[in-house]
Amino acid sequence: MRRSYGKADRIVAISKGVASQLLEMKLARPGQISVIYNLCVNNEVHTAQKAPISDYQVPFERPLLVACGRLTEQKGYPYLLDAFRRVRDERQAELWILGEGDQRSTIESRIEELGLVENVSLLGFRNNPFKFMAAADVFVLSSLWEGFGNVIVEAMACGTPVVATDCPHGPGEIITHEKNGLLVPPADSDALSNALLRVLRDQSLKEQLTENGKERARDFHASKIGQQYLGLFREVVSQSKESPQTPVDRSN
């Protein structure tokens, strides 16, 4: 990374947090980094979210929470399960988790320990996660760390209110707390359960987060992100034409 990044005219970081980390690790120079968020939304997302869910019965009489991500330590699922147990202590609800990973057996054991076998479903990897996001009453991200957090934007685009951990890096750059989503500290089951219950109890808050979330998701549409990359490419090419060409040392 030090060799290749050092030769780059520009480095693109997918969040401001990642950019700061690159500077702290001395992998990039100030002025060498451009922050361009991930492309998360295109017209296919809006079509895919309308597809029917045929292999699972979507609960209509009780709230549905959906999470999406690999079954790994990073995603903080033990904290989510503890939080959901507290949600279940107050009201009937279901939690669907999309994704596969090396912690599946550990997560299954924790589901049994908490007595949530009837309420939590591990749905595995899905080619179309958007229809599940759209079916949810709340989308929840419990990650301990991220690079950005694409699923937050995808859920917003599907018209689902989002509760997410304010982990490094990304969620806090996507979500404005109380406006288009709710942020809670990572690894804090109590805060996570309180935020989830708050959205489930407060219909006006749910509607506010839904509408503002859809508006925020438009900032990450393919057309906008593509224009940002185009602008960056033009800037770099223009600068290279104005500067004398320096041979690149490829001896390493």
| CATH code of the domain in which 131 resides | 3.40.50.2000
Per-residue pLDDT tens over the stretch 112-125: 999 999 999 999 99
Residues 19 and 137 reside in one and the same domain? no
Residues 162 and 81 reside in one and the same domain? yes
List strand residue ranges (DSSP E) for the chain, in order.
11-13, 33-35, 64-68, 94-98, 120-124, 138-141, 162-165, 182-184
**What is the number of helices (H) and of strands (E) in the chain?**
11, 8
- pTM of structure: 0.93
Number of domains in the chain: 2
Fill in the amino acid letter for 160. Answer: T
Residues 113 and 188 reside in one and the same domain? yes
249 within domain boundaries: no
- The domain of 24 spans 2-39+221-242
Per-residue pLDDT tens over the stretch 164-223: 999 999 999 999 999 999 999 999 999 999 999 999 999 999 999 999 999 999 999 999
Q: Provide the b/e sequence for 10-41 (b: ≥16 CB within 10 Å).
A: ebebbbebbbebbeeeebbeeebbbbebbbbb
